Amino acid sequence: MSEKTKKPLRRRIFDIIQIGNKDDLISRSFDWFIVTVIILNILTVFLDTFEELAFLKPVFRVTEAVTISVFCIEYILRIWTADMLYPEKKPFAARLRFLRSFDGVVDLLTILPFFFLSGFIVFRMLRVVRIFHLFRVNAHYDSFHVITTVLTEKKNQIISSVFIIIVLMLASSLGMYSVEHEAQPGAFRNAFSGIWWSVSTLLTVGYGDIYPITVIGKLMAICIAFLGVGVVAIPTGIISAGFVEQYTKNQHSDVRFSDIREVGEILVDKKSGFNGMKVREAAEKYNMKILVILRGELTVIPVEELKMKPNDILIVKSEKIIKE
């Protein structure tokens, strides 16, 4: 096969296996096929644990082998077309980048358990990673994209609130040990023995297997329980506010190209269809000129081969207006 023939073939395969291309029927069909294979693989793993279904083990083995074969083929194709996913890198560097990426690691850990299940227990535990394959597929669609965007934008606030929870958990564990150790040496043997109790109390679960019996311990438990309600509400409020902000942003960014008269702005999201598209491709497809790209706090010059990313703001102008 000549180089000229190979390149269009690789481009077509890349377009097909790229997730979330709504304009390509074959690509969309491939996405649904992969989702079906993943669900079938996970279902097989779950059903294989039932002793009542032991007579179906040969069927489970064949099903697992077929689905893993599909994963292997997809993994090889993604490595083969990785230089198109990272066009700014050389072919070897692009493939290495894919292998180290979240998608590449999840794909690899999805395949490994099939070949190492008879070995160490750590490889058996990798069965669970197959479920994350669904997250990789769903991450490219609108609903999951909103969740990941909110978590990314609010990560600093979420990390801070989790840090507060950990500090309060350790403090409550140490305090409860101080007042309950003499009364319950078996339950509160050291400062870390109260962590299980503090976690179940702060997170308002309250299993009741460990509890204070002294008056001071009960008073402390009441205060810690009230603090737990407030502390748990902090990350919940942060995430909820993030969802409201993202929803409002999406509502205001629903711009139609026919509405752009002279200069307008478009938010890059799944609805706009610009995510992952090159500047040159967008200009040719929508007959407009991208003047500048706002990416976070950066102002990016829209060179032709630059790929647009989620939450980029495009300052655009209609080519028809320019010609007039």
Report how far residue 280's alpha carbon sits from residue 94's, in angstroms, rounded to the nearest whole number: 21
Q: For residues 217 and 183, is the Cβ–Cβ distance under 8 A?
A: yes
Helix (H) or strand (E) holding 209, with range, is none
70 and 136 co-located in one domain: yes
- The answer as to whether 204 is a domain residue is yes
Mean pLDDT of 190-213: 79
CATH number at residue 160: 1.10.287.70
Which of 10-24, 137-151, 303-317 is most confident? 303-317
CATH number at residue 264: 3.30.70.1450
- The answer as to whether 266 is a domain residue is yes
Mean pLDDT of 116-143: 58
**Which of 215, 230, 252 represents a domain boundary (last residue)?**
252
130 and 208 co-located in one domain: no
Tokens found for residue 145: 């994209």
225 HSE (CA, 13 A, CB side): 11
161 and 106 co-located in one domain: no
- The answer as to whether 149 is a domain residue is no
70 and 164 co-located in one domain: no
- pLDDT reading at 102 higher than 50: yes
127 and 184 co-located in one domain: no
- Digit-coded pLDDT (tens) for 58-75: 998 899 889 889 989 988
Report how far residue 286's alpha carbon sits from residue 260's, in angstroms, rounded to the nearest whole number: 11
Pick from 185-194, 231-240, 264-273: least confident = 264-273
207 and 223 co-located in one domain: yes
Dihedral (Cα; 7, 12, 13, 18), 10-degree rounding: 120
**Which of 140, 163, 188 represents a domain boundary (last residue)?**
140
Q: What is the pLDDT of residue 237?
A: 86
- Digit-coded pLDDT (tens) for 146-194: 777 788 888 888 888 888 888 888 888 888 888 888 888 888 888 777 7
The model carries a pTM of 0.53
Q: How confident is the model at residue 140 (pLDDT cuts 50, 70, 90)?
A: low
DSSP line for 138-199: HTTSHHHHHHHHHHHHTHHHHHHHHHHHHHHHHHHHHHHHHHHTTT-TTT-SSGGGGHHHHH
Q: What is the pLDDT of residue 256?
A: 47
Q: Look up the domain containing 286 and give its range.
A: 257-323
Report how far residue 250's alpha carbon sits from residue 252's, in angstroms, rounded to the nearest whole number: 5
CA angle, 203 as apex, 200 and 207 as ends, to 5°?
A: 30
- The answer as to whether 150 is a domain residue is no
Q: What is the pLDDT of residue 235?
A: 84
More confident of the two residues 55 and 206: 55
Which of 36-40, 57-61, 110-114, 274-278 is most confident? 57-61
- Digit-coded pLDDT (tens) for 215-229: 998 898 888 888 888
Q: Residue 192: CB partners within 8 Å, gap ≥ 6?
A: 173
217 and 276 co-located in one domain: no
CATH number at residue 72: 1.20.120.350
Inter-CA distances, 168 with 71, 88, 203, 272, Å: 44, 46, 11, 44
231 HSE (CA, 13 A, CB side): 23
Mean pLDDT (the chain, rounded): 77
26 and 100 co-located in one domain: yes
- The answer as to whether 57 is a domain residue is yes
DSSP state, residue 18: S
28 and 95 co-located in one domain: yes
What's the structural domain count of the chain?
A: 3
Q: Residue 168: CB partners within 8 Å, gap ≥ 6?
A: 198, 202, 224, 227, 228, 231
**Which of 105, 140, 175 represents a domain boundary (last residue)?**
140
Q: How confident is the model at residue 4 (pLDDT cuts 50, 70, 90)?
A: very low
- pLDDT reading at 29 higher than 60: yes
Inter-CA distances, 174 with 75, 195, 206, 319, Å: 49, 8, 18, 68
- pLDDT reading at 258 higher than 50: no
% of the chain at pLDDT higher than 90? 3
Q: What is the pLDDT of residue 251?
A: 60
- The answer as to whether 119 is a domain residue is yes
101 and 168 co-located in one domain: no
Pick from 19-23, 39-43, 48-52, 245-249: least confident = 19-23
Report how far residue 212's alpha carbon sits from residue 187's, in angstroms, rounded to the nearest whole number: 9
Q: What is the pLDDT of residue 1?
A: 52
